[in-house]
Chains A and B, each alone.
Chain A
Amino acid sequence: MPQAQVSMDVREVGPNVRIIDIRGEITAFSEDILAAAHEEASRAGVKAVILNFEGLEYMNSSGIGLLVTTLIRAQRAGHKLLAFGLSDHYRQIFSLTRLDDAIPLYADEPASVAAV
């Protein structure tokens, strides 16, 4: 099976708010990395997890599916899932797949943190 071409780092940006910095590609092969990053970001009563897509280079339909399963995990854990840094292209894809109905999108990090 091909290797995932992505890195995801978790950082804390406020009380109970964590950001996952995504760099590279989101495909089916990113599943374990995204699940591990989300689990790390979800620890200790987090209120919101924010996905930073500024470093996103490529995403296919399996990648969109991974975001849905991440959203369901967030709902189950009782915290919000937000996102920022999407290019116009990926904003269109969020709109086409109606993912933006459920994951609020923001222009940048300060706007997303302020919205928590």
Chain B
Amino acid sequence: MTEPRDKDSWAAPVDKLHVGEVPPGAVNLNIEGRKLTGPLQGFGQMWQKTYRVGVGDVPPQKVIETWKSEYDRFWPPSNRFYAPITGIKPGEVGVINAKQGPVRLSTGVLVLYVDDTSFAYVTPQGHPFAGWITFSAYEGGAGTVAQVQLLIRANDPIYETGFMLGGSNTEDKMWQYTLHALAEYFGATGEVETVKVKVDRRRQWSRFGNLRHNSMIRTWIRKPFGWGEKPSS
């Protein structure tokens, strides 16, 4: 039997996350020892959110190469993504430090999948949502399209409430900002298209206990006065 060509694209199975060397300035909380949570393990309603933008006549491979190597550059200034020292490769762990008003959050992601035209993250326990984020680029009718697609549930009842009270829109703005910044980098100025589909309207009450891992609460307990100052400096 021949080996599948995606063999090296996937992370190796892991039971619990282990954070390797952390970049200077990163606040590394709520990742070490956590299990991964896919969209089936979360609490809230399941959503598929797709954001896409035209980036011009740039080869999809070039878009993904740039996106991976300068991932943090395209994020909103209030959030920081500390890519693994070794780069965005399958099985590596990235650290996220986010700030929304007075709320601070330290969490992370595992790099689940990487190939020439896409890469994907999966979230750990305690992250605001349980699920996967896939970043891809492909040739559309009028040039290359860059896309972010999330398949997610809020991880626990607090996050679900937050999403319903505006967190979901904040998240939309974050990915729209990201794609706009990416398009701008390549000299394109198109609008970001957003498509949201409620895949499953049910809440998984059996996952109520995910609350105990809530990274927002745990960040507040560990760093009640913030993290010194802006982690971006």
Contact = CB atoms under 8 A, between A and B. Distances in A.
Interface of A: 1-2, 28, 57-62, 64-65, 68-69, 71-72, 75-76, 87, 89-90, 92-93, 95-99, 101-102
Contacts, number: 87
Contact of A98 (B1, B12, B41, B136): B41
Secondary structure dominating the interface of A: helix
Given A65-B48, A92-B12, 17 more contacts: A1-B138, A1-B140, A28-B136, A58-B5, A61-B112, A61-B118, A64-B132, A69-B48, A69-B151, A69-B199, A72-B199, A75-B200, A89-B3, A89-B10, A97-B122, A98-B40, A98-B41
B6 A58 contact: yes
Contacts of A87: 1, 4
B10 A101 contact: no
A57 B4 contact: yes
Interface string B45-59: 010100000000000
B36 to A, nearest CB: 7
Given A2-B139, A97-B38, A98-B40, A60 B115 contact: yes
A83 to B, nearest CB: 14
B38 A58 contact: no
Given A72-B46, A72-B199, A99 B40 contact: yes
